[in-house]
Each structure stands twice: as C-alpha cells, then as structure tokens.
C-alpha cells in the first residue's frame, strides 16, 4: 500500500477528529528506517496533522486510531493512560487451551535485543484477560483483552501461559502447515510446503473509546484474508 487512495480503502470509521483504520499486516505504524511505507505517512496525506494514538506491531493486523488534531490526540491519549479504552484481539494459538476469563498478571521487561520477557523484579506491570473463543484439533482461537499496553504484551503473556501465537517464532510459536492438519495431504514433487499464514496469527478485532463529544464509539475490524483462510482451514480439519 502506497497511496492516499489505499489509505482511504482501509478506513472503517471517521468523524471530525479521528480516523479508525483496519491496518493490513506487514505495514509499519510509524516511520521506520528500514521501511519505505508507513501508515502515519499515508494518514498525513489524508489529514495533514494526523498522529497515531497507539501502535500495532508491523505483522499485526487490525484496528488503529489516528487523531486529526492535537486536542483529539490528547483526549484519546488520556483514555489510554487511564485504561479507559477497551481493546479486544483474536489470536490463533498452538495447542488446546480452555481459558475462562483468565487474568494474566505478569510484569514485562524490554531487553536490549528488542525482545520482551517476564520479569517480576524489573518488569513494568502488565495484565491481559484471556478467554477461549474456539477450540480446534490442535490450535485454539483465543480472545485477548489487554488492560495495559506494553510492547509485545499479548504475545509474551500467551507464551507464558503455554499458548504461543501460531507463527510467532520469536516467542515459541510454530508455523502452521496444511500437512500437519490433513492426513491425506501430499506435496507436489520438488516443491517446498509453505505455511498457511506467513506471520503471527494476531488481529486487533475491536476497540471502544470516547470521541470529543463524549460518545462511546465501538469499531470492529474484519479478519484479513490470511487469518480468515487460516481459521476456515482449522474449522474444516476439526471434527
């Protein structure tokens, strides 16, 4: 994606102060020396004073909010600071897990190499609610509701619970191959099997916040093609 028109195509909701988009995977939120394209630059082609109110990892898809002016940015920043924004993510995890409103309360510490680990002594407080949405044969679709907004929080908390996100190899997740799901699967000669999803299976599904008029706004982002295809394949091979 590289143009104002591409940006307009991902807008899900907008008023005079905010733009909510469905971020595609593999696109950085903010300026990155290694990436020619980022969503903030595209947002500023659409609204010159746009600021990102939060961020998503490059490989995470889903809801992202931009403020169109400084007052709107401050208004939503304070809601994030006071934990008044409700965010819901969906993650496909390795293994079978039956979480019933489980609160993961594990402090997180960013390390010099950029990874994040659980550290009860040095970490910053981090909490995530986990609820099982759907159990498949060897994977689980988990609903995640972060209370805090630490870097890599959902990824590390799920891994700490023995439920790493499928495809998230940095934190112990494994690629999902069709051959591991279908017994009768056969690969063509001289070809190498590709994973069903080329990233971690994490999607920011829903977001609730208050706009400047004090209206409660809830926006939902449909799954992108890759997660939709993965979930459909997991449903087909579960029985």
What does the pLDDT read at residue 1? 58
| Pair 58, 155: CB distance under 8 Å | no
For residue 48, the Cα-to-chain-centroid distance in whole angstroms is: 26
Residue among 15, 16, 32, 57 flagged as catalytic: 57
Domain extents in the chain:
4-236
pTM summary value: 0.94
Tokens of 5: 């028109």
Q: Which CATH architecture has domain 4-236?
A: 2-Layer Sandwich (3.30)
Q: Report the alpha-carbon distance of residue 18 to residue 16 in Å, rounded.
A: 6
What does the pLDDT read at residue 63? 98
Q: Report the alpha-carbon distance of residue 213 to residue 167 in Å, rounded.
A: 41
Q: Which residues of 121-152 are buried (b: 16+ CB within 10 A; e: fewer)?
A: eebeebbbbbebeebbeebbbbbbbbbeebeb
Q: Report the alpha-carbon distance of residue 215 to residue 217 in Å, rounded.
A: 6
What does the pLDDT read at residue 181? 86
What does the pLDDT read at residue 93? 98
| Pair 68, 20: CB distance under 8 Å | no
What does the pLDDT read at residue 2? 60
Model confidence over 31-50: pLDDT tens digits? 877 777 899 999 999 999 99
What does the pLDDT read at residue 87? 98
Query: In the chain, which residues have pLDDT < 50?
Result: none
Task: Provide φ and ψ at 233, rounded to 5°.
Answer: -70, -40
What does the pLDDT read at residue 182? 79
Q: 């609730």: which residue's tokens?
A: 208
What does the pLDDT read at residue 120? 95
Helix, strand or coil, per DSSP, at residue 77: helix
Task: Provide φ and ψ at 118, rounded to 5°.
Answer: -75, 130
215 counts as catalytic: no
């Amino acid at each position: 994606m590289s143009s104002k028109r591409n940006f307009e195509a991902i807008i899900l909701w907008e008023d005079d102060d905010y733009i909510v988009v469905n971020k595609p995977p593999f696109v950085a939120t903010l300026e990155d020396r290694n990436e020619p394209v980022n969503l903030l630059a595209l947002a500023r082609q659409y609204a010159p004073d746009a600021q990102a109110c939060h961020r998503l990892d490059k490989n995470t898809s889903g809801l992202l909010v931009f403020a169109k002016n400084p007052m709107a940015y401050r208004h939503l920043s304070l809601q994030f600071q006071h934990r008044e924004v409700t965010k819901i993510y969906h993650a496909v995890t390795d293994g079978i897990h039956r979480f019933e409103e489980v609160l993961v309360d594990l402090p997180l510490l960013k390390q010099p190499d950029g990874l994040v680990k659980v550290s009860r002594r040095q970490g910053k407080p981090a909490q995530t609610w986990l609820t099982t949405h759907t159990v498949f044969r060897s994977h689980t679709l988990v609903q995640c509701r972060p209370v805090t907004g630490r870097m890599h929080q959902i990824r590390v908390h799920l891994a700490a619970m023995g439920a790493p996100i499928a495809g998230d190899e940095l934190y112990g997740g494994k690629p999902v191959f069709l051959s591991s799901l279908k017994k009768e699967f056969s690969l063509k000669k001289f070809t190498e099997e590709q994973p069903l999803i080329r990233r971690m299976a994490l999607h920011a599904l829903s977001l609730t916040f208050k706009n400047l008029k004090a209206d409660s706004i809830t926006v939902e982002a449909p799954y992108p093609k890759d997660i939709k295809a993965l979930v459909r394949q997991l449903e087909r091979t579960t029985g």
